[in-house]
Amino acid sequence: METINPFTIIGLAAGTLTTIAFLPQVIKTWQSKSAKDISLGMFSIFCTGVFLWIIYGFSVGDLPVLLANIVTFILAFTILIFKFRYG
Amino acid sequence: METINPFTIIGLAAGTLTTIAFLPQVIKTWQSKSAKDISLGMFSIFCTGVFLWIIYGFSVGDLPVLLANIVTFILAFTILIFKFRYG
């Protein structure tokens, strides 16, 4: 695992943003109970890719990539479940 | 820039998936001209985060992170524009 340096902070900021980005979508879909305009293909492929990012981040010991993708996976997978529930 | 190794291949596969994931959403929204269920908050925050990932990937010389996020930015930004156009 790398030492914390300025680049790691940029990476963590990037990871925080691309992760929390999914929260407004989770909340919106939860409240509207409508997922018609959301692409099933997008969230299926995305969740698979994020899972591979987790393996990659762990393999190369990249903390921002690892942490960000674990949380992103949880949120994107929630949207995928909503898509199945609310169409 | 790191040498190509098995981890880099996993990273490139991850990046390919989380990047092409946005393509079905771009196509769906383009065809339906409807973006009601898509969260403006999600795609605004996401594009900002992806931009920081580009800076991070460039800074640490991480090829998968850099390449994936450049293409992801183009696609996610397109969805953001669609959100403004089709509400």
Q: How far is A48 from chain B (nearest CA, A)?
A: 7
Is it the case that residue B1 has pLDDT exceeding 60? Answer: no
Pick the CATH number of B8-86 from 1.20.1280.290, 1.20.58.220, 1.10.10.60, 3.40.640.10: 1.20.1280.290
pLDDT tens-digit series, residues A46-72: 999 999 999 999 999 988 889 889 999
> Which CATH number does A6-86 carry?
1.20.1280.290
- Give the ipTM of the model, two decimals please: 0.84
Average pLDDT in the B51-71 region? Answer: 91
- B29 or A12: which leads in pLDDT: B29
Q: Does B17 touch chain A (CB under 8 A)?
A: yes
Subunit contact A17:B42, Cβ cutoff 8 A:
no
B6-13 long-range contacts (CB < 8 A, ≥24 apart) are B7/A56, B7/A59, B7/A60, B8/B63, B8/B64, B10/A52, B10/A55, B10/A56, B10/A59, B11/A52, B11/A53, B11/A56, B11/A60, B11/B62, B11/B63, B11/B64, B11/B65, B12/B63, B12/B64, B12/B67, B12/B68, B13/A49, B13/A52
Banded model confidence at residue A2, pLDDT cuts 50, 70, 90: low
pLDDT value for A19: 92
Which among B27, B34, B55 is the nearest to A10, CB-wise? Answer: B55
Nearest Cα to Cα of residue B42 among A87, A11, A35, A81: A35
Written as one letter, the residue type at B10 is I
Rounded-to-integer distance, Cα A1 and Cα A86, Å: 41
On the question of pLDDT at B8 being above 60, the answer is yes
